[in-house]
Structure 1
């Protein structure tokens, strides 16, 4: 701690809060601990009756918490994120656009393993809206050894992708194939179409069309190929996903030459979810729960596809940890444990 004249304090770091009292108007901290004194602060300090102030004794190799937080934030931040101004060694990250949050879990662990470094985030693959708070960083001491910050910056650069980014969802042309002889024959009303259309449009994509097929392998395959020929970027096949002998949707998809990624996901509801690819076009087999459950495996995986990912079986099976929906009376997803 060092006592210096106010007139000589530009660039110095305050070691405690300083209260300003204006009778009838305000009483509270005018300058916070850690504030870096600026030229325009001098008249204010003098008006507060301060001839001398106590500041941090500058030591070579130490940097101020605000500078350290700013460097950490910039090292961690990728596209689609806005950083606020540093305050008391803290910086808040907010989404600059609607999209899906991507977090490098290994990168966050690496940074937080360093002494005095803190980076706290929301969960990976969380849908976020523009302006939403998604992360925050800070350093613990008022002044921190710069070598720690340099090491954090080096670690962040060792990862192939940013530690944090918000990826926008692409606008896909989506074809819907609704299977089931009872629907195809008109014996019951289609309930899948309106649900899927609302979800697709809510994600910013468009429904290219919806076709109906009976429980017939060749008819299902023909409907899928018809949407592909029309330029679909994604195919949703609803119904016929159970193990009943007359539920032939998985067989139809596999036998048309698609690359099967998974038939089954460790997610409830949505265990009978199917993902396959025809070239680069994802085909999603959707179980009946998508029709009546507010949030299912479909809501976890479709946005990641729309964000440009090509999902593997490992990506699917990892969701078992957190893949249990609690069926809350009022669904609050994504503000809950589902898919985390």
Structure 2
């Protein structure tokens, strides 16, 4: 193929390389120049034109794209006509798109003139969705290059000789049985959400759900429920546990074994979705779902489910091979190894997922251990009161709005925070203890808030960056409904709570906060390891203030 300026006397049959605009006429790029086109160029005063002249053995771009598309054709794959050296491939049915990635890479490595771009392997596709595009870069492909490309494209996958390079495996109309396990204290809305999310997934893959079986979160009742679903014709068995599965011998996996099945793999290198358990009862696949399957958002369970509906047998090796690309969502849960935490810098930046979280700053207490002084109003050596430092740290985070709960010396606290963009909530019965302050703050939480971060007014070392780490980890739909900071494994403050816990928090009485509720909902708790002990340090005595340089230097 020759490219470059071409005298009009030699241009007949050449391909125009760039669009030429003439008076009353446009010759588009790719036009094969005939006598009429050459005459128009000559009349416009042109003596030459930039064009491509094919040599013996060159295959024009549209013909080359056509031939490659024909070589890649497979059942349930349709194609467009060739135009400007391009052919697009489409799915004729909803299903799972699979490909031989190594083979596509070989095709793209043959010559720069041939390119093939595809969807990711194992993509769920709908009818008429584009799967791939074949594009010839220059105006022609050497015949010897095209012959090599066609031979590779017609080859079958090395690991699956029956499958072409590109394939659409249609979804089967499977009947799915779901066992929903129950524990005391689990809200009905959580159970209903798990059913709704599962049903949506099944229907999207053209399946149907059998009537849901509900059973106590115990091995025997769950095994019996699996047996009933299998006898009812289930093609796939699922267990959604009231508590997350943490071991092969946990309730869900043990129930599969008790029902006559086997466990083939536990865990997967996909996040969210790590805690999935793959087994079978006879020839029926059986899965214990990870907690994130309660959410409709993409997680590792979706990947496994799509393959099963497409008729693929999912093995332990398949699951272990899902790690590349398996980080579906960045989270901040336990980002630092505990032993290394003190030597690592705190991660900066906004939370990974925007959630509407308000912050309560509890500043109503009487400071009895420091009486007659009010610790929250004690100025440091720069004259800044402790409560102002705390509030400024909270305002530096992405929590909004910030609500300051006042009580003891209300006017002085509000005066110290004058000019700061905060809301105030007064606790008239603050003398009754911490729960009274907490309730006053919760009553002021706006209805749109998805979460409440409860901050203590005497913890001035907790920075806005640390608070944003907690916000990053918060995701009730994926089971991270309570977030608590830790330092070297020791639990600290502040804590972040999903709105679903608000009724239980409002029922607390006495001089205690809400921390004890976390023990009741351990399966909804996530801990975030911090790089310093600031989350453990509150300052409620004169002696403890000696640990704050700003105060120690003053006293």
Q: What SS does the corresponding residue of 2:173 show, helix, strand or coil? A: coil
Q: Distance in 1 between matches of 2:251 and 2:130?
A: 44
Q: Are residue 233 (structure 1) and residue 235 (structure 2) matched? A: yes
Aligned residue number for residue 337 of structure 1: none
The residue aligned with 1:333 is none
Choose from 66, 69, 73 the match for 1:73: 69
Residue 230 of structure 1 deviates from its aligned partner by 1.2
Unaligned 5+ residue runs, structure 2?
A: 331-351, 355-555
1:307 shift after superposition: 0.8
Query: 1:190: how far off?
Result: 4.2
CA deviation after TM superposition for structure 1 residue 293, in Å: 5.9
1:202 aligns with 2:204: yes
Closer, same or farther: CA 187–244 of 1 in aligned 2, 3 Å? farther
Quick one: structure 1 residues 259 and 53, their matched pair in 2 at CA, closer, same or farther if it must change by over 3 Å? Answer: farther
For residues 1-340 of structure 1, the aligned pairs below 5 Å read 12=13, 14-17=15-18, 19=20, 23=24, 29-33=26-30, 35=31, 45=37, 48=40, 57-116=53-112, 117-159=114-156, 160=161, 161-182=163-184, 189-239=191-241, 240-243=243-246, 247-292=250-295, 294-326=297-329, 329=353
Q: Determine if contact 1:93/1:133 at 8 Å carries over to the other structure.
A: yes
Higher relative contact order (CA 8 A, sep 6+): 1
C-alpha deviation, 1:107, in angstroms: 0.9
Higher Cα Rg: structure 1 or 2?
2
Deviation of 1:19 (Å): 3.9
Cα displacement (A) at 1:49: 6.5
Aligned mates of 1:261, 1:30 — CA distance in 2? 64
Output the TM-score relative to the length of structure 2: 0.51
Cα offset, 1:67, TM superposition? 1.1
Change (3 A) 1:252 1:185: farther
Asked if the contact 2:267/2:274 (under 8 Å) is kept, the reply is yes
Name the CA shift for 1:165/1:190 in 2 (closer, same or farther; >3 Å): same
Mean Cα deviation higher: 13-22 or 284-293: 13-22
Q: How has the CA–CA distance of structure 1 residues 185 and 309 changed in structure 2, closer, same or farther, with 3 Å as cutoff?
A: same
Q: Quick one: structure 1 residues 129 and 53, their matched pair in 2 at CA, closer, same or farther if it must change by over 3 Å?
A: farther
Residues 252/91 of structure 1: CA separation in 2 closer, same or farther (3 Å cut)? same
Shift of 1:82: 2.5
Partner of 1:334: none
Describe the shift of the 1:93–1:183 C-alpha distance in structure 2 as closer, same or farther (beyond 3 A): farther
State the Cα RMSD in Å.
3.3
* Residues 175 and 208, structure 1, Cα contact 8 Å, conserved in 2: yes
Residues 190 and 87 from structure 1, CA distance in 2 versus in 1: closer, same or farther, beyond 3 angstroms? closer
Distance change >3 Å, CA 58–CA 288, structure 1 → 2 = closer
1:270, distance to aligned residue in structure 2 (A) = 1.4
Deviation at 1:191, TM superposition (A): 3.4
Q: Which stretch of the first structure deviates more once superposed, 54-63 or 274-283?
A: 54-63
Structure 1 residue 180 displacement after superposition: 2.7
Asked if structure 2 preserves the Cα contact closer than 8 Å seen for 1:242 and 1:287, the reply is yes
- Three-state SS of the structure 1 residue aligned to 2:325 is coil
Contact 1:241 1:248 in 2 (8 A): no
Instruction: Check the 8 A contact 2:256/2:281 in 1, yes or no.
Output: no
1:184, 1:214 within 8 Å by CA — same for their partners in 2? no
Q: Is the 8 A contact 2:256 2:280 kept in 1?
A: no
Q: Given the superposition, is the C-alpha separation of residues 101 and 187 from structure 1 closer, same or farther in structure 2, using an over 3 Å criterion? A: closer
Cα pair 2:219 2:251 within 8 Å, conserved: yes
Give TM-score, length-normalised by structure 1: 0.80
Gaps of 5+ in 1: 331-340
Moved more, 75-84 or 269-278: 75-84
Q: CA deviation at 1:173?
A: 0.8
Q: Deviations over 1:191-227 (max 9, x none)?
A: 3212211221122211122101112322211111111
Is the contact made by 1:181 and 1:213 (CA closer than 8 Å) also made in structure 2?
A: no
